[in-house]
Amino acid sequence: MSRDPAKLLYAESHEWLDLTADDGVAAIGISAFAIEQLNDLVYMDLPEVGKVLEFGDEFGEVESVKAVSPLYSPVAGEVVEVHSELPDSLEQLNDDPYEFGWIVRVKVSGDEGRDKLMDHAAYEKQCSEAG
């Protein structure tokens, strides 16, 4: 089933969070707006399975033209799966940031930071104000 961006939560730092699964495992990626701003991703670094994250922890990096940008976790939990195919297929992120573009899956451990996330409408407003 295709992931609907309107049902996701978003961090100020442009990561998206999908909490819709029943098993307590959330998927995390980066938004279409972020991918456009980053402009031509060349590398991505993924965490190891088993890494425990607090809300806001760096969980990976991407290198785009002339800058390395950390990825910040929008949720607290343990990494249970990483999208190992993604770093070799970054060109597909542009086409499909929400389905193919999942980066990690995290077993959620709590609500830490949930109040700092935005729904789709609020995130779109942040993006439009950023220009």
Do the beta carbons of residue 26 and residue 39 sit within 8 Å? no
Integer Cα distance of 54 and 34 in angstroms: 22
Binding of other proteins at residue 39 (CB under 8 A)? yes
C-beta of 23 vs 66, nearer to other proteins: 66
Residue 79 sits in the site that holds other proteins (CB under 8 A): no
Comparison of 69 and 109: residue with beta carbon closer to other proteins? 69
Binding-site member from 55, 59, 72, 98 for other proteins (CB under 8 A) = 72
Phi then psi for residue 120, to 5 deg, are: -60, -40
Given a contact cutoff of 8 angstroms between Cβ atoms, the answer to whether 103 and 28 are in contact is yes
Measure the CA–CA gap between 79 and 23, rounded to whole angstroms.
14
Site string for other proteins, 46-65 (x = CB under 8 A): ---------------x-xxx
Tokens of 29: 């990626």
Residues that bind other proteins (CB under 8 A): 12-14, 34, 37-39, 42-43, 45, 61, 63-70, 72, 126, 129-131
